[in-house]
Amino acid sequence: MDFQLTEEQLAVQAAAREFAQSELWDGVIERDEHQKFPAEQIKKMGELGFMGMMVSPEYGGGGMDTVSYVLAMEEISKVDASCSVIMSVNNSLVCWGLEKYGTEEQKRKYLPGLTSGEIIGAFALSEPEAGSDATMQRTTAEDKGDHYLLNGTKNWITNGTTASVYLVIAQTNAEAKHRGINVLIVDKGMEGFVTGPKENKLGIRGSDTCSLMFNDVKVPKENRIGEDGFGFKFAMQVLAGGRIGIAAQALGIASGSYELALKYSKERKAFGVPISQHQAIQFKLADMATNIDAARLLCLQAAHDKDAHQDYAKSGAMAKLFASKVAMDTAVEAVQVHGGYGFVKEYHVERLMRDAKITQIYEGTSEIQKIVISREILK
């Protein structure tokens, strides 16, 4: 792995940092408090190329590498992890999956809107009884010749109410188990498709999460991605890449928390000196900085593996496992460094602490990452 970032990668990082600081910082507390979807901000992110970073320019994307994506995700997550999860799902799960496995017609129909931020995409795998055990799909896509009849419920869907296009995983042939699962493109407005109310969440409250209900939805055959039965592999593949995005989100939450704690420790005085001069605080800052650097290296390693067309299931899972723990630990310590001020909203660290938790849960819990890593090691 080359440890030196290219000029282009540095420029992407600088652009994301500038955007996050100037456009996301103001209003982030209010969006969190009122669970307000960052519609304007996402539109601007689309205009700046952050919604389809790795998609080929032919379909309106930025044609960038995964390393650039990780750098941008970190900067945006430092300020607003709600914006970055919307960005991550759109980039990693929806755009990447469509570009890699979609037909030319599907790509031309959906990618320009998704990459420009005109429309948002969602990925629907989880169900009331199929979270970690993703093979247990109860949503059915019955083959009716020229269309599939889709029935069932999906849970915890990021961008659930705001998306226009959904990649839905459903069981067509139960006997074939995971080899009988398909992935279908479902458009908002298809008859029989409704979304549930927004979940009232602990963190990433600006992003919208809800259930999806399908009741005899007729999905044309041409909306299937890949061969019949490819849906489970599709889900595993997009999630392997998605974990790099969420690892970078966790990294950003950690580095955002650390930067706030560092700044505060130099300003706040106790016992006659800035608290940064007390060893108790210095040790916390040293631990945070070391863990963040280690998490960043794992994120860049996974991104590098993906860019080099090497297997990235293990490195992506390692990056997510480690970075999400670092996010949680660092945010908790950042609150501690702030003392009582850390417990109120205007100092931002309590929000980062709440946001951190989901990075240990979605796109596979920490336990799932350990399953993926150990299987790769033992293979």
Residues in contact with ligand CAA by CB under 6 A are 85, 89, 123, 125-126, 132-135, 158, 178-179, 232-233, 236-237, 239-240, 313, 362-364, 368, 371-372
Provide the residue type at 268 as one letter: R
Separation of alpha carbons 289 and 147, rounded Å: 54
Nearest distance, CB of residue 316 and ligand CAA, angstroms = 9
Contact criterion met (CB below 8 Å) for 161 and 201: no
CB atoms within 10 A of CB 352: 29
Are the C-beta atoms of residues 68 and 12 closer than 8 Å to each other? yes
Could you give the C-alpha distances from 231 to 1, 93, 177, 228, in angstroms and in order?
A: 32, 13, 11, 8
Between 123 and 214, name the residue whose CB sits nearer to ligand CAA: 123
Q: Which is nearer to ligand CAA, 106 or 158 (CB)?
A: 158
Minimum CB separation of residue 57 from ligand CAA in Å reads 26
State the minimum distance, in angstroms, from the CB of residue 101 to ligand CAA: 11
Q: How far is the CB of 229 from ligand CAA (least distance, A)?
A: 9
Q: For residues 53 and 90, give the distance between their C-alpha atoms in angstroms, rounded to a whole number.
A: 10
Instruction: Output the CA torsion 289→294→297→303 (10° steps).
Output: -110
Q: Are 155 and 120 in contact (CB under 8 A)?
A: no
**Per-residue tokens: 99:** 């570009």
Q: Which residues pair with residue 214 across a beta bridge?
A: 152, 193
The pairing of strands 147-158 and 209-220 is antiparallel
Q: Which residue lies nearer to ligand CAA by CB, 96 or 264?
A: 96
Q: In the chain, how many H helices and how many E strands?
A: 12, 9
Q: Can you read off the two tokens belonging to residue 238? A: 């997009």
Query: 103: closest CA among 185, 35, 33, 182?
Result: 185
How far is residue 155's CA from residue 214's CA, in Å, rounded to a whole number?
12
Residue closer to ligand CAA, measured from CB, 76 or 334: 76
Taking the complex as a whole, the smallest distance from the CB of residue 278 to ligand CAA amounts, in Å, to: 39
75 classed as catalytic: no
The Cα 125–Cα 128 span in angstroms is 10
Smallest gap from Cβ 245 to ligand CAA, in A, equals 9
The number of residues making up the chain comes to: 379
Q: How far apart are CA 80 and CA 213, in angstroms?
A: 29
CA-nearest of 211, 63, 15, 46 to 118 is: 46
Nearer to ligand CAA, 168 or 292 (CB): 168
Query: Could you say which of 8, 191, 363, 376 is catalytic?
Result: 363
Closest to ligand CAA by CB, 2 vs 379, is 379
Minimum separation from the CB atom of position 88 to ligand CAA (A)? 7
CB nearer to ligand CAA: give 99 or 333. 99
List active site positions.
Answer: 363
